[in-house]
């Protein structure tokens, strides 16, 4: 019967052998950090990181940073967010787009929070194989407008807007 000490010694020896011969799995090694301006590697299924869009302020500056036209209001975009958020640290936001049959599909969904330090809260790359709907939680420090923007395959951008009153700010202060 093996003792615990023997089991630990065997485990340590095996680990040293794997690490010493280079057989330790590469997936277990942390990846080097990507710079904020880095784009996705060629052939990668991931889109490039839109660093300029996340740095853009105010909301109107986000659209040119993403190469988008100014969005038009549309009833096709549905934005659900509580009118009164009791706690701004985690506010539920739900976005969906009702795409009519034969109309261009949704390529991207954006969620923007006007008075946040970084207005662009999220960018979702969607395609024809994915239903254009997302749900997330965002942090809000004060009363603000929330925008849901749908970017269509034909290049148009449509949006819905809703005002949110925050009772307790996301940083713990009362508003």
Token digits for 90? 């985690």
Q: What is the pLDDT of residue 37?
A: 45
For the stretch 107-159, pLDDT in tens is 999 999 999 999 999 999 888 778 899 999 999 989 999 999 999 999 999 99
Does the pLDDT of residue 170 top 60, yes or no? no
Token digits for 169? 């700010």
Domains of the chain with CATH codes: 59-166 (2.60.40.2470)
* CA 18 to each of CA 22, 30, 57, 59: distance values in angstroms, whole numbers, following the listed order: 6, 17, 50, 52
For the stretch 64-87, pLDDT in tens is 988 899 999 999 999 999 999 988
CA-nearest of 90, 81, 115, 111 to 170 is: 90
pLDDT interval class at 36 (50, 70, 90): very low
Question: What's the average model confidence in pLDDT over 4-24?
Answer: 77
Sheet-wide strand order for 91-97: 77-80, 91-97, 133-138
């Amino acid at each position: 019967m093996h003792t615990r000490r023997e089991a630990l010694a065997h485990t340590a020896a095996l680990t040293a052998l794997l690490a010493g011969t280079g057989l330790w799995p590469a997936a277990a090694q942390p990846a080097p950090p990507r710079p904020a301006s880095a784009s996705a590697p060629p052939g990668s299924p991931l889109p490039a990181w839109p660093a300029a869009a996340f740095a853009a302020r105010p909301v109107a500056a986000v659209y040119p940073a993403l190469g988008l036209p100014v969005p038009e209001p549309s009833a096709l975009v549905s934005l659900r967010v509580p009118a009164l958020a009791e706690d701004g640290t985690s506010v539920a936001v739900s976005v969906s787009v009702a795409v009519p049959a034969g109309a261009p599909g949704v390529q991207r969904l954006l969620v923007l929070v006007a008075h946040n330090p970084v207005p662009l809260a999220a960018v979702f790359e969607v395609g024809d194989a994915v239903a254009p709907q997302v749900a997330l939680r965002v942090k809000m420090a004060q009363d603000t407008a929330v925008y849901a923007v749908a970017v269509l395959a034909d290049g148009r951008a449509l949006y819905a807007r809703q005002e949110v009153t925050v009772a307790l700010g996301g940083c713990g202060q009362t508003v």
